Amino acid sequence: MAEKPGWEGRCYEDFEVGDVYVHRLGRTITEADNIWFTLLTLNTNPMHFDNHLAEQSTFGKALVNSCFTLALVTGLTVSDLSEHAMANLAWTDIVLPHPVFAGDTLYARSEVLEKRESKSRPTVGIVGVKSEGFNQNGDLVISYKRTFMVYKRAHRLGARPPIPSSNKE
């Protein structure tokens, strides 16, 4: 039986302006995710962890920390966009048009807006994308632009040592 390589992520050469990636995985947010992230980042707004207070708000329940929404949607895009990134350069134009709650499942898609060679680092290129996150009902919950440096194929990191063959004789 022949071994087949798994998905290895995109390098600079793989990106084309106008490409749209519908990212494969979704992720359901739990109340624990929201509370832990809120505590880790020292966000003291009780709308994220005081259910009694949040019930009195316009939303009627606790909101998921918007920085968690950004982090999660970015994470959903990594396998398609930045698995071989050298560095993130910017997140801009972040818009949060719909609230996110524990129990929501988020999905993402991204469009390549620009790409160019790096002027200072010949081993990488710079890619700009617009990413969007949607809940299970198709509501847009976040939109942002992100710029990152990504390795060119010949310079990517992570070469693994050979794995012994699984052929049994």
Q: Provide the residue range defining the domain that includes 57.
A: 12-155
Query: Is 22 part of a structural domain of the chain?
Result: yes
Q: Tell me the pTM.
A: 0.90
Sign of CA dihedral 152, 154, 157, 159: positive
Domain containing residue 120: CATH number: 3.10.129.10
Q: What's the CA gap between 35 and 106, in Å, rounded? A: 17
State the total domains in the chain: 1
pLDDT for the residue 159: 65
Residue with tokens 């390589």: 5
Q: What's the CA gap between 93 and 73, in Å, rounded? A: 15
- 74 and 131 in contact (C-beta within 8 Å)? yes
Quick one: tokens of 86? 């050298």
Query: Is 144 part of a structural domain of the chain?
Result: yes
pLDDT tens-digit profile, the chain (169 residues): 777 777 888 999 999 999 999 999 999 999 999 999 999 999 999 999 999 999 999 999 999 999 999 999 999 999 999 999 999 999 999 999 999 999 999 999 999 999 999 999 999 999 999 999 999 999 999 999 999 999 999 888 876 677 776 665 5
